[in-house]
Chain A
Amino acid sequence: MTTAVYLWQVGVCLVATGLAPLFAGWVGQCRAMLQNRAAPPVWQPYRMLRKLFHKEATLATDASWLFRSAPYVVFAVMVLAAAIIPSLTTQLPVARVADAIALVGLFATARVFMALAAMDIGTAFGTLGARREMMMGFLTEPALLMVLFNAFLMAGTTALPAIVQSTLTPSHAMLHPSLAFAAVAFVMVLLAENARLPIDNPSTHLELTMIHEAMVLEYSARHLALMEWASWLKLFNYACIGFTLFMPWGIATQSVSVGGMAFALLALVAKLLVAGSALALFETTSAKLRLFRAPEFLTMAFLLAVLGLLVHLLLEG
């Protein structure tokens, strides 16, 4: 029994790691279709990974051990985060190791390592990207935590599986006004954290506007592959956090079984398809903000989440 559970755990991690590029590919395809461009195939990210992994890595002369180890750390952190989020089932062991606050901490760890690696070479763009990323980070991190706090207060716990369980309990299935605030705030955080429009443009290489791209500028080959994969995993993880908080339908809550997991996987894919196209639609219809408008955007996300908290305490506290 227990070994089976651990095998399932490894399986869930592999599913997340494997599906993440596909999700990114799907978002890219939707964007292209909406913008009347010829769409790249959905598996384009896999091709990119294959290409990058086969190349010879080029390192700057001054790169230190921190620069070389950061891609591994960032990637591992994202995989661990995928293990913690109950994207398919609430019955897995690793979810108990860390709660949602630790999950936010994990994302922060990845961010700090990326920023430090970006500063390591000492180029103008690297430090610029690091500074901007940390600026976004200190606003998104508390905003995300406040979004999660809304869910915590409702479920009385910070453990994500328990939050899913409580949302799926029929007696709790009513509309919570505070969750509406939290959901809007969460979408804003998701956009900012994953370098999407209107904060950052994933397809830009215009130096003055980029954030994420500026940080990974000095990476090549397998290091770049890991960094890119980690960023797709991050998007996937954020989508899964959204599902656990706001639409947990389909997640298996009973003991782990093949049928339940297959159904959960189907539900997850369906939700990802919808979420991906919604994300593409949103990105296509919005314009990039000037960099110094971005903090206002994120402050609004933070305040919305705090407002949600206040609404919860006023109405349901």
Chain B
Amino acid sequence: MNELAAASPTVTAALGLVLAWLLVGGLGLVRPNKTGWIAHVLFPLGAVIALGVAAIGTTTWLPAFVTQQMVLPLGLPDLPFHVRLDALSGFFLVLLGVAGTGISIFSAGYFRAGEGTAPGLLCLQYHVFLASMAMVTLADDAYLFMVAWETMALSSYFLVTTQHRLPEIRRAGFLYLLMAHVGALGILLCFGVLHGGSWSMTFDAMRAGTLTPFWMSMAFLLALFGFGAKAGLVPLHVWLPEAHPAAPSPVSAMMSGLMLKTAIYGLLRVGLDVLPIGPWWWGTLTLALGLGTALYGVVFAAVQTDMKRLLAYSSIENIGLIMAGIGLVLICRCFDMHVLAALALAAVLIHSFNHALFKSLLFLATGSVMHATGERSLGKLGGLIRRMPWVAAFALVGALAIAGLPPLNGFISEWLLLQAFLQTPHIPHAFLNMIVPLGAAVVSLAAALAGYVMVKFYGVIFLGQHRENTLVTAHDASGLERIGLAWLALVCILIGAFPQIALDAVGHVTQLLVGAAAQRGPSWWWITPVATHQVSYSGLWFWMGLLVVTGVTFIFVRRFYRGRVRRTAAWDCGYPWQTPRMQDSAEGFGQPIRHLFGPIFKIERELPRPSDAAPRYRIQIDDRVWLACYQPLGRVLQRVTENLAVLQGGRLAVYLLYSFLTLIVLLVCVL
């Protein structure tokens, strides 16, 4: 152990930090109901460790860094745990650390006693969840990977069901657990295919193994299924909109911001690193699924009336964009277009990072809103910018970033993805070079719809009049919560202003996986991923231009026209009687989308009659995938199990007969 540790100090440090997380979690159990101790000591400690994890990840960007491997004296006899730190796992450790820091600081101010699970137990589950995600990225053999993966699924299940007294939350948790295990089964089978009869579980052995093309494709499809179920690829996305609203907001932030990214990590590890270069249809399949998922997610997000469900569908959209990028990487890699593959992979990685930031930020903001108002339904919020100015300001950064608007970070990754699509007509394949560029149309449509969704999200929650009188008493987030939100918003702005740093950072990963890196600019504040004369973007100059022009306009207007302002009632075309009910509700804002994309939804509507004294309008929108795929499947399963239940007669003699018959059959087989 000692000589190995000396050889790979960074991995040892990373493992030490993982242990520290577990320790902090364990300390929570010492006095499980002492909120002050847990909130003001343990969670901030977890945040500091998260920063350390991020720092460990950044060491992989140093020029002197070489991949480090290590064998742990843990695990089963003859099957020790292997860990490894390379550029890919380093990048995801940074992602985990940076976003985890913000979430942990926020959680310190968020979790309170008396909300389901005791705070001490929650602290343990929370830190085990973080530690298991770190271990997923560090694992270098299938065995440790699956152990960490399952720990992650279980700890997050317990976190989702924090308020386990409510039956709908238990139901949502069960659905999540079920989908997590169906996905894990796919991954397990994928590893089963990959070891190729060698029975060696290390990724190194799998890389060296030779598979027939059929089994290679089999392994890829299983990985796509398994990791797709975790990431929320349509049609495996059904658990996301159920689990996210059920979980406490920091947990939703971790699941959406971080856990979905471990699935992306897994797919990149298996699809680009462990598996050799495959046929081009792997890429087209992933691309098509990704584009479909993006469009599906964003259209459903636009019609949601629950703010956390809306964000969950928006996560599905972002995962779709990331998957589309991975598809592009796979296609380019199979035609030996390394630079283009590197560009697409850079877009994938930066978008994963960005999504971890702004989606955590928005989920945490909904947490503050829920604490302040006790409401999750958009129809009962409104006007919170005046009651919660801090949360509103940070949420605005998150909303603008997720809508892909320059000069924030969401724009950078979407820009890179579009640039990658623009180069696809050069693919040396007569069919692909015409179809793939059209994917850009879907990407831009999804990005534009994301803007619609975010205006709805932000406008209905924070702007306008209070839709309920009780909102007048809403209070702003606590100090620690604000720091957590501010941290995430700050990183969003910084990546938007310095995209070249992000591009440099992912350059190491693209070098590792596809053997090339996207070009940077001639000077450090430019990015020119394709070629200097062709395209360039400078986040810093963009920010400065915007600030300077806004400032000059402001000064001029103020200087020449004194700032006389009179406050009065809203004009509203002179209508004298205005109530908050006259604003668009969440349903109303989604109406154009329901109208345009009607066939996608299953809509049930209840309209009031003109004579109704208390008119009520109700609309319910269901996911057709759930009705078309999962309900029939559930029914079939139910019927099969009912028939099988005949075997379970409840009589001991019959059970003994089963054992006896099995024994006979086995004996016959052996002999």
Contact = CB atoms under 8 A, between A and B. Distances in A.
Chains A and B bind each other: yes
B596 interface: yes
A73 B425 CA distance: 37
A155 to B, nearest CB: 9
Nearest to A75: B553
Interface string A277-289: 0000000000000
Contacts of A30: none
A83 B569 CA distance: 38
B438 A108 contact: no
Interface string A144-164: 011001001100111100100
A58 B534 contact: no
Interface stretch (A33-41, A99-107, A193-201, A263-271): A99-107
B327 interface: no
Contacts of A292: 595
A125 B578 CA distance: 11
Nearest to A79: B549
Given A102-B542, A138-B451, A66 B565 contact: no
Interface of A is mostly: helix
B162 to A, nearest CB: 33
A8 to B, nearest CB: 16
Interface string A88-109: 0000001011110110011011
A97 B571 contact: no
B534 A313 contact: no
A86 to B, nearest CB: 14
Contacts of B589: 127, 131
B546 interface: yes
Interface string B372-413: 000000000011011001000000100010011110000100
A138 B447 CA distance: 8
B458 A116 contact: yes
B550 interface: yes
B561 A99 contact: no
Contacts of B472: none
16 contacts: A58-B566, A75-B550, A75-B553, A76-B553, A96-B538, A99-B537, A102-B537, A112-B454, A121-B464, A122-B463, A126-B464, A141-B444, A222-B557, A222-B561, A292-B595, A317-B425
Interface stretch (A49-57, A171-179, A235-243): A49-57
A128 interface: yes
Given A98-B542, A123-B583, A317-B425, A105 B463 contact: no
A108 B448 contact: yes
A239 B658 CA distance: 82
B601 interface: no
A123 to B, nearest CB: 4
A258 to B, nearest CB: 25
A4 interface: no
B411 A102 contact: yes
Interface residues of B, number: 82
Interface string A52-91: 0110111111111110000011011101100100000000
Q: Pick the 8 closest A-B CB pairs, nearest first.
A: A122-B464, A122-B465, A119-B459, A127-B584, A60-B570, A142-B444, A141-B448, A157-B534
B400 A112 contact: yes
Interface string A240-283: 00000000000000000000000000000000000000000000
A310 interface: yes
A15 interface: no
Nearest to B571: A218
A61 B568 contact: yes
A244 to B, nearest CB: 16
Given A72-B553, A112-B451, A207 B573 contact: yes
B571 A60 contact: yes
Contacts of A138: 445, 448-449, 451-452
Interface of B: 382-383, 385-386, 389, 396, 400, 403-406, 411, 415, 418-419, 422, 425, 433-434, 437-438, 440-441, 444-445, 447-449, 451-452, 454-456, 458-460, 463-465, 526, 530, 533-538, 541-542, 545-546, 549-550, 553-554, 557, 560-561, 563-573, 575, 578, 580, 582-584, 588-589, 591-593, 595-596
B584 A131 contact: yes
A314 interface: yes
Contact of A61 (B419, B434, B569): B569
B589 to A, nearest CB: 5
B396 A66 contact: yes
Nearest to B570: A60
B557 A131 contact: no
Contact of B536 (A96, A130, A302): A96
Contacts of B433: 313, 317
Contacts of A1: none
B403 A115 contact: no
B592 A158 contact: no
Interface residues of A, number: 81
B383 A153 contact: no
A62 B425 contact: no
Contacts of A310: 434, 438
Contacts of A76: 546, 549-550, 553
Contacts of B591: 131
Given A162-B533, A313-B437, A149 B422 contact: yes
A125 B582 CA distance: 9
Given A97-B538, A121-B572, A309-B441, 19 more contacts: A72-B550, A108-B405, A112-B405, A112-B454, A116-B463, A123-B571, A123-B572, A126-B464, A135-B596, A138-B449, A142-B447, A157-B530, A158-B422, A159-B536, A217-B572, A218-B571, A226-B553, A309-B437, A313-B433
Contacts of A97: 536-538, 541-542, 545
B243 to A, nearest CB: 28
A134 B561 CA distance: 32
A21 interface: no
A77 B546 contact: yes
B596 A295 contact: yes
A132 B596 CA distance: 13
A83 B552 CA distance: 15
A22 B383 CA distance: 39
A121 B570 contact: yes
A98 to B, nearest CB: 6
B592 A295 contact: yes
A295 B449 CA distance: 14
